[in-house]
């Protein structure tokens, strides 16, 4: 279980934190539907028990700034506020900065996530020195000014630097949280969350190419999503086009047409790419080729090797050779 603390100052931009919070809630809901425990526990913390958001909605019952020493894995989420610069002179801001200066981000344990000008707040607290980070384009110069030792990256959806994750602002916070959900719960579940929220999956230009679990999902056809969910969750199943068509309640010919028209790929090609991604993950975790082939649903390591040569898989050698 990861405790996620949204730190809300007065006038916090509502979409900066509400969208990511809904993504985490949706992820927990999807896990429950699969009979798995929730992975995220949400907290909304502030120096005061009440706070007004950017749109005037009053939040009450907010938690106090937490004591994180000796606790389990946690994410601290900082968000933006309206205005061309981030105001840090208020008593609430000073309280948050004092609390932030006591944090020591650590990968897999205490991680810092910023949305929009939340990175500027982190910079004021000294948490971005020697780090790469981004922010909303209106705040790029401000971030450079506040923390000259930060490598400020422009024109990025989000940036990852060890335990520090920063996004460009507003809707890009959803992109970042989908990325984080994928890292914790798997890319198939992240794709399911994006589908539920009707969000187009994307990543920053510097990030690796979208895995097959996330690719081919930028459509709204529910029957096709059902098939892709089933294949992603059970890639080793004995899938045939008729078996996939039964999930969609369609004929094999009609399913093939749906795949090509909506996903831009044929059903068997999609299945093979999913299986290759599973095999690649197995190999990277130390499995041998025979074990990886079995886990991914290939009938033999020979079949896996043949498929590996035929399809480009992100991160594989250019020669197409398996270890």
Q: How far apart are CA 41 and CA 162, in angstroms?
A: 22
SS3 77: strand
Q: Is 170 left (phi over 0), alpha (psi -120 to 50) or beta?
A: left
Rounded to whole angstroms, what are the CA distances from 84 to 111, 116, 141, 142, 156? 27, 12, 11, 9, 19
Task: Output the pTM of the full model.
Answer: 0.74
- pLDDT value for 265: 93
Q: How far apart are CA 250 and CA 253, in angstroms?
A: 8
In CATH, the architecture of 215-310 is Orthogonal Bundle (1.10)
The token pair at 79 is: 């968000």
- pLDDT value for 10: 94
Fold of 2-192: Rossmann fold (3.40.50)
- pLDDT value for 251: 96
pLDDT digits (tens, 9 = 90+) for 99-147: 999 999 999 999 999 999 999 999 999 999 999 999 998 999 999 999 9
Domain spans, the chain:
2-192, 215-310
pLDDT digits (tens, 9 = 90+) for 2-11: 999 999 999 9
pLDDT digits (tens, 9 = 90+) for 185-239: 988 888 889 888 877 655 544 444 456 777 787 777 889 989 998 998 899 999 9
Q: How far out from the chain centre does Cα 228 lie?
A: 19
pLDDT digits (tens, 9 = 90+) for 223-281: 998 999 899 889 999 999 999 999 999 999 999 999 999 889 999 999 999 999 888 88
What is the per-residue burial (b if ≥16 Cβ within 10 Å, else e) of 257-293? ebbeebbebebebbbbbbbbbbbbbbbeeebebeebb
Name the strand (E) or helix (H) holding 230.
helix 222-233
Burial of 73 (0-12, 13-18, 19+ CB in 10 A): middle
pLDDT digits (tens, 9 = 90+) for 163-181: 999 998 778 899 899 989 9
- pLDDT value for 227: 94
Nearest of 306, 307, 276, 311 to residue 292 by alpha carbon: 276
């Amino acid at each position: 279980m990861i405790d996620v603390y949204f730190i809300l100052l007065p006038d916090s931009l509502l979409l900066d934190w509400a969208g990511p919070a809904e993504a985490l809630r949706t992820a927990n809901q999807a896990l429950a539907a699969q009979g798995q425990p929730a992975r995220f526990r949400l907290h909304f913390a502030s120096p005061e028990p009440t706070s007004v958001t950017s749109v005037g909605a009053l939040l009450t019952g907010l938690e106090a700034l937490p004591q994180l020493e000796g606790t389990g894995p946690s994410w601290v989420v900082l968000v933006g506020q309206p205005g061309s610069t981030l105001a840090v002179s208020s008593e609430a801001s000073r309280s948050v900065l004092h609390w932030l200066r006591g944090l020591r981000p650590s990968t897999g344990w205490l991680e810092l996530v910023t949305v929009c000008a939340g990175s500027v707040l982190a910079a004021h607290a000294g948490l971005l020195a020697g780090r790469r980070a981004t922010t909303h384009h209106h705040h790029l110069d401000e971030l450079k000014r506040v923390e000259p030792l930060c490598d400020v990256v422009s024109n990025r959806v989000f940036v990852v630097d060890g335990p520090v994750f920063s996004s460009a602002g507003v809707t890009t916070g959803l992109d970042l949280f989908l990325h984080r959900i994928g890292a914790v719960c798997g890319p198939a579940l992240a794709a399911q969350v994006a589908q539920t929220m009707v969000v187009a999956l994307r990543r920053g230009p510097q990030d690796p190419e979208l895995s097959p679990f996330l690719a081919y999902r930028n459509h709204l056809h529910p029957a096709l999503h059902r098939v892709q969910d089933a294949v992603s969750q059970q890639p080793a199943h004995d899938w045939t086009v008729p078996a996939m068509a039964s999930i969609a309640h369609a004929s094999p010919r009609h399913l093939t047409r749906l795949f090509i028209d909506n996903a831009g790929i044929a059903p068997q090609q999609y299945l093979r790419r999913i299986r290759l991604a599973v095999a690649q993950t197995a190999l990277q975790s130390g499995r041998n080729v025979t074990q990886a082939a079995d886990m991914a649903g290939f009938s033999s390591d020979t079949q896996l090797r043949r498929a590996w040569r035929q399809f480009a898989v992100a991160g594989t050698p250019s020669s197409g050779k398996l270890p």
